[in-house]
Structure 1
Amino acid sequence: MNIRLNIGTKVALAVATAAVCVASTVGLLVHRITAANQLTTARSDMDRRLMTAVYDQAAGRKSEARLDPPDLPAPVSRAVRRGVRVTYLQDGPDPVLWAATRISDRTVLALSRPYGCEADELAALDRTLVTTGAAATVVVSLAGLALGVRMGHRATAAARTAGRIAHGDLDARIGPQGRDEIAWLAASVNTMADALGARLEAERRVTADIAHELRTPVAAMVTATGLLPAHPATDLVAGGVHKLRGLVEDVLEVARLDAQVACVETEPRQVSAMARRAVAGLEGVEVRIVADTLVETDPRRVERILTNLVTNALRHGAPPVTVDVDKDHGGAIVRVRDHGPGFPPDLLSVLTASGPQRFRTGSGSAGTGLGLTIASGQARLLGACLTFRNHPDGGAEATLRLSGGGAADA
């Protein structure tokens, strides 16, 4: 199972891991140093008491030491037989500290005492270290979690704002917080948005200026082609000029939509009437009315949307092209479908994620050109919803949803 952790969780886990490592290391060092100091002190005390016992034994006084004790540990016995005065800690459930020395060729003088008191003190120290370390780890982990959550929120806000910018909201900005790398990233994203907005604005102005400059000579060319004598070459030139005029008008329409200067003039209209007007003069298109609806909208813009969708279906799809009109939750739905190969996967992902982009094409021959770009812009202007998909039975399908008013019979 693949588990994805956000930055807040990662920071909290890193801080908690570091706290556990530090607490464990400090606890181990304190344990070892305390144990070593305890044993050194106890051995020094036992050695001093052993030397006192040796003097008492030599003077014939009674002492706490024993001669040749039968329970003398073997390591102590071997060391003493070699002439070494030793102190030795005998481990076990009940540890015992020994001190022994040889006072004659065959006699060993030894002292012993329980070492359980020191062991109990060390165990108590270990419990204190574990409790303190656990408490410190919890506190530091909570602080790390708070820091991680704050960093995660800031990073998430930056990512969401960047996504809004990528989807066309060039006014979105990230509020500056702090002076760390995330704040630097936020400032960079804001700078990028400013630069992108300025570049797009310059592009829009240039596009609009070029289209306006082309409008007059193109109009003159249209007039001139009307004065040419009838000839196949004249028809070819006239067709090209009319296509050029349509392209110039489309570019101007995109410029107006980008500049958000277009105005909406609404009035109540039957959706079926707008659909039929939109496909008037286009061959190979069937309008099917499932349920008609009266909507308050700008009919000219709705008809432009439907015309562009149908034209795109005829150009890049395959007949028959159908336009279905239906009702949905008090509004209207118009579906435009062809029976061609459908949208290429890469183009469909772009249409689904960010909407049509001017002159965007897929890996095949299909592309959106300006038609779908204008349709999408008009839909946004009307507050309508325009979506794209490949129909399960084949072909490309575009769905326009309009908010409506009263219903009418089909």
Structure 2
Amino acid sequence: MNVGAKVALAVAAAAVCVAGVIGVLVHRITADDQLATARSDLDRQLVSAAHDVAAGAGTGARTDPPGLPGPVARAVRGNVRVTFLQAGDEPVLWAATRISDRRVLVLSRSYAPEERSLAALDRTLLATGAAATLPVSLAGLVLGLRMGRRATAAARTAERIAEGALDARVRPSGRDEIARLAVSVDTMADALGARLEAERRVTADIAHELRTPVAGLSAAVGLLPPGRATELVTRGVRNLRGLVEDVLEVARMDAQVAAVDTEQREVSAMARRAVADLDEVRVRIATDAVVATDPRRVERVLTNLAGNALRHGGLPVEVLVDGPVVRVRDHGPGFPPDLLAVLQSSGPQRFRTGSSTGGTGLGLTIATGQARLLGARLTFRNHPEGGAEAELRLPTE
């Protein structure tokens, strides 16, 4: 149940409670007042009748009537003038007093008119309470829906920001707590955008600054004499050049300047080319498909996924093509729980692998960014039979 519904129910419940309490109080006060008035009137009539009896005049009171209620009889025996309401289907109000040692003077009348009047009052109170509760409940519903919409808008904007839409804003209105929440979300988005932009600029600047000296190193390595030391230097320079290119690729995707060149290609052909230089990776074709996509970016995604599986997983590493879906699976220990939670929620974080073997963590970041550019869906999980599995689902339209 959302906030709007809860507010509406709370307002409606409060209105019903207030109407109920007021109704009960009015009923109780009216009933007590009616009974007190009726008793007072009947007692005055009894006193007047007693004076008439003493003067020998006629009266409408009865003397020693049969069927006198027990409480009245007991009170009169104690020389108490009493009034008593006998409840039942036909309520009767009694008044009695002793006029001699053996005689009791009694007046009685039906209390039904007062009961009918009280019942009519209850019906009026019920109708009035319902009439008052309905507009209050509607007002509470409108207020609750408005609050719910504002809270939902803030939540959806926060979700869009978490997904990478840093230009999303709530645009708050009002001065209540929801408005403060909206202001906080917008402020958070501004601060996050500024930090990410600074990070992107630093990343791009570092990559560009490193590109020239790395190119010089690559040229200088070719002049070294053959030998073990030269092989080590060559491998190191090649790894460094690949890292710089990865950082530049991330910077281009962050700046949203990467272009997508779409072609009709077989998924199996792209998968085989992607792992052609990875001897330990096996490609299996369940069903093939032809999709319109950017083959270079698809191959880059699959190469990064397979390379990540080789570095951090266990052999054998398999690439399964099932139509527009490609699954890359290793047979290692699988993704660590904390890394898997990050991959399934916000996606890979650059410079973080979650693996004890180290690494820069750019492979999955680039793969996710390339998949986003292609309009594809990249998901990660631990396979039920063991090992980590990444699934790339290419768009078919």
Provide the rounded CA distance (Å) in 1 between the counterparts of 2:77 and 2:362: 105
Q: Which residue of 2 aligns with 1:345?
A: 337
> Is 1:98 aligned to residue 94 of structure 2?
yes
Report the Cα offset of residue 193 of structure 1. Answer: 1.0
Report the Cα offset of residue 364 of structure 1. Answer: 5.8
Q: Which residue of 2 aligns with 1:30?
A: 26
Q: Judging changes above 3 Å, is the alpha-carbon distance between structure 1 residues 368 and 27 closer, same or farther for their aligned structure 2 residues?
A: farther
Q: Which amino acid in the other structure matches residue 217 of structure 1?
A: P
Q: Which residue of 2 aligns with 1:298?
A: 294
Provide the rounded CA distance (Å) in 1 between the counterparts of 2:244 and 2:165: 26
Provide the rounded CA distance (Å) in 2 between the counterparts of 1:81 and 1:297: 108
Contact 2:271 2:319 in 1 (8 A): yes
Q: How does 1:352-391 map to 2 (within 5 A)?
A: 352-362=344-354, 369-391=361-383
Report the Cα offset of residue 37 of structure 1. Answer: 0.9
> Per the alignment, in what secondary structure is the counterpart of residue 116 of structure 2?
helix
Provide the rounded CA distance (Å) in 2 between the counterparts of 1:363 and 1:271: 30
> Per the alignment, in what secondary structure is the counterpart of residue 51 of structure 2?
helix
Q: Which amino acid in the other structure matches residue 395 of structure 1?
A: G
Aligned residues: 397
Provide the rounded CA distance (Å) in 1 between the counterparts of 2:99 and 2:321: 117
Provide the rounded CA distance (Å) in 2 between the counterparts of 1:201 and 1:96: 88
Contact 2:312 2:355 in 1 (8 A): no
> Per the alignment, in what secondary structure is the counterpart of residue 377 of structure 1?
helix
> Per the alignment, in what secondary structure is the counterpart of residue 263 of structure 1?
coil
Q: Which residue of 2 aligns with 1:279?
A: 275
> Per the alignment, in what secondary structure is the counterpart of residue 335 of structure 2?
coil
Q: Judging changes above 3 Å, is the alpha-carbon distance between structure 1 residues 46 and 296 closer, same or farther for their aligned structure 2 residues?
A: closer
Contact 2:285 2:320 in 1 (8 A): yes
> Is 1:154 aligned to residue 150 of structure 2?
yes
Provide the rounded CA distance (Å) in 1 between the counterparts of 2:84 and 2:266: 105
1:254 to 245, 250, 253: 250
1:113 to 104, 109, 112: 109
Contact 2:214 2:240 in 1 (8 A): yes
Q: Which residue of 2 aligns with 1:193?
A: 189
Q: Which residue of 2 aligns with 1:317?
A: 313
Q: Judging changes above 3 Å, is the alpha-carbon distance between structure 1 residues 120 and 291 closer, same or farther for their aligned structure 2 residues?
A: closer
Q: Judging changes above 3 Å, is the alpha-carbon distance between structure 1 residues 400 and 84 closer, same or farther for their aligned structure 2 residues?
A: closer
Deviations 1:204-251, CA, capped at 9 Å, x for gaps: 111111221222233333334444444434433332332222212211
2:202 to 197, 202, 206: 206
Report the Cα offset of residue 136 of structure 1. Answer: 3.5
Q: How does 1:396-407 map to 2 (within 5 A)?
A: 396-403=388-395
Supply the RMSD in Å over aligned alpha carbons: 2.7
Report the Cα offset of residue 42 of structure 1. Answer: 0.9
Provide the rounded CA distance (Å) in 1 between the counterparts of 2:120 and 2:359: 77
Report the Cα offset of residue 291 of structure 1. Answer: 5.0
Deviations 1:27-52, CA, capped at 9 Å, x for gaps: 11111111111111111211221222
Q: Judging changes above 3 Å, is the alpha-carbon distance between structure 1 residues 126 and 268 closer, same or farther for their aligned structure 2 residues?
A: closer
Q: How does 1:163-242 map to 2 (within 5 A)?
A: 163-242=159-238
Report the Cα offset of residue 287 of structure 1. Answer: 3.2
How many percent identity over aligned positions?
A: 73
Report the Cα offset of residue 72 of structure 1. Answer: 3.1
TM-score scaled by structure 2? Answer: 0.89
TM-score scaled by structure 1? Answer: 0.87
Q: Which moved more, 1:183-192 or 1:298-307?
A: 298-307
Q: Judging changes above 3 Å, is the alpha-carbon distance between structure 1 residues 234 and 78 closer, same or farther for their aligned structure 2 residues?
A: same
Q: Which residue of 2 aligns with 1:408?
A: none
Provide the rounded CA distance (Å) in 2 between the counterparts of 1:137 and 1:236: 84
Contact 1:268 1:297 in 2 (8 A): yes
2:14 to 14, 18, 22: 18
> Per the alignment, in what secondary structure is the counterpart of residue 335 of structure 1?
strand
Q: Judging changes above 3 Å, is the alpha-carbon distance between structure 1 residues 52 and 66 closer, same or farther for their aligned structure 2 residues?
A: same
Provide the rounded CA distance (Å) in 2 between the counterparts of 1:79 and 1:292: 104
Q: Judging changes above 3 Å, is the alpha-carbon distance between structure 1 residues 270 and 87 closer, same or farther for their aligned structure 2 residues?
A: closer
Provide the rounded CA distance (Å) in 2 between the counterparts of 1:95 and 1:295: 90
Structure 2, unpaired ranges of 5+: none
Provide the rounded CA distance (Å) in 2 between the counterparts of 1:193 and 1:238: 44
> Is 1:71 aligned to residue 63 of structure 2?
no
Report the Cα offset of residue 169 of structure 1. Answer: 1.5
Q: Judging changes above 3 Å, is the alpha-carbon distance between structure 1 residues 121 and 19 closer, same or farther for their aligned structure 2 residues?
A: same
Q: Judging changes above 3 Å, is the alpha-carbon distance between structure 1 residues 267 and 101 closer, same or farther for their aligned structure 2 residues?
A: closer
Deviations 1:68-88, CA, capped at 9 Å, x for gaps: 333333333343344433322
Provide the rounded CA distance (Å) in 1 between the counterparts of 2:129 and 2:355: 61
Deviations 1:377-399, CA, capped at 9 Å, x for gaps: 11221223323333344333323
> Per the alignment, in what secondary structure is the counterpart of residue 397 of structure 1?
strand
> Per the alignment, in what secondary structure is the counterpart of residue 298 of structure 2?
helix
Report the Cα offset of residue 292 of structure 1. Answer: 4.9
Q: Which amino acid in the other structure matches residue 361 of structure 1?
A: T
2:42 to 43, 46, 49: 46
Provide the rounded CA distance (Å) in 2 between the counterparts of 1:68 and 1:254: 110
Structure 1, unpaired ranges of 5+: 406-410
Contact 1:293 1:404 in 2 (8 A): no
> Per the alignment, in what secondary structure is the counterpart of residue 379 of structure 2?
strand
Report the Cα offset of residue 252 of structure 1. Answer: 1.2
Provide the rounded CA distance (Å) in 2 between the counterparts of 1:115 and 1:235: 115
